[in-house]
């Protein structure tokens, strides 16, 4: 099972298979594929952050090969609807037409400005970039604390159980 420990915080991010399948479906594998992206929602179970929903793309997102601007009105509606299901907004995802994606300078600015939107108690805002290769090589997972971003390294194996 693929998961991402957040530094030494003890928190672990895990992506449910449906979320990984949603990412895979929107990979930019052909030159005419445009960037896609949306929000990430998780169940928070102790120190486990189980990413259960990845939203979008939406009809009114603005999308280009190297460009993505989400429909901001939809975003708040998604946050409200998911919160009613006890799913917390933890961050954003988007695609890049790169095999192993790296954040652009605009991505760094976006990450810094989005941190204030995450109202959970995690180490920071989660930012996923979906590249062309399958995970883990093609999946870049970053936690941003408002000042800087940290790329998380994948781990395989069973999730540790929460202490009772």
The site that binds Zn ion (CB under 5 A) totals a number of residues, namely 2
Contact 43, 85 (CB under 8 A): no
Q: Based on CB atoms, which residue is closest to Zn ion, 104 or 148? A: 104
39 beta partners: 92
Q: Based on CB atoms, which residue is closest to Zn ion, 50 or 128? A: 128
The distance of closest approach from Cβ of residue 94 to Zn ion in the complex, given in angstroms and rounded to an integer, is 6
Q: Based on CB atoms, which residue is closest to Zn ion, 61 or 107? A: 107
The distance of closest approach from Cβ of residue 162 to Zn ion in the complex, given in angstroms and rounded to an integer, is 33
User: In the window 46-75, what residues touch Zn ion (CB under 5 A)?
Assistant: none
Q: Based on CB atoms, which residue is closest to Zn ion, 67 or 83? A: 67
Contact 121, 89 (CB under 8 A): no
User: In the window 75-104, what residues touch Zn ion (CB under 5 A)?
Assistant: 104
Say how far apart CA 84 and CA 86 lie, in whole Å. 5
Of 53, 92, 107, 132, the one binding Zn ion (CB under 5 A) is 107
The distance of closest approach from Cβ of residue 68 to Zn ion in the complex, given in angstroms and rounded to an integer, is 7
Which residues are near Zn ion by CB under 5 A? 104, 107
């Amino acid at each position: 099972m693929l998961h991402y420990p957040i530094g030494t915080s003890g928190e672990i991010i895990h992506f449910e298979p449906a979320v990984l399948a949603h990412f895979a479906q929107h990979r930019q594998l052909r030159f005419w594929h445009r960037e896609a992206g949306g929000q990430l929602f998780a169940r928070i179970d102790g120190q486990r952050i189980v990413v259960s929903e990845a939203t979008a793309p939406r009809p009114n997102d603005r999308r280009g090969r190297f460009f993505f601007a989400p429909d901001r009105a939809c975003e708040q509606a998604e946050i409200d609807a998911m919160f009613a299901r006890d799913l917390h907004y933890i961050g954003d995802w988007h695609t890049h037409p790169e095999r192993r994606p790296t954040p652009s300078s605009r991505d760094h600015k976006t990450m810094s400005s989005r941190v204030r939107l995450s109202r959970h108690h995690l180490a920071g805002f989660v930012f996923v970039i979906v590249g062309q290769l399958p995970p883990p090589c093609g999946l870049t997972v970053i936690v941003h604390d408002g000042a800087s971003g940290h790329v998380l390294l994948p781990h395989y194996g069973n999730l540790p159980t929460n202490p009772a």
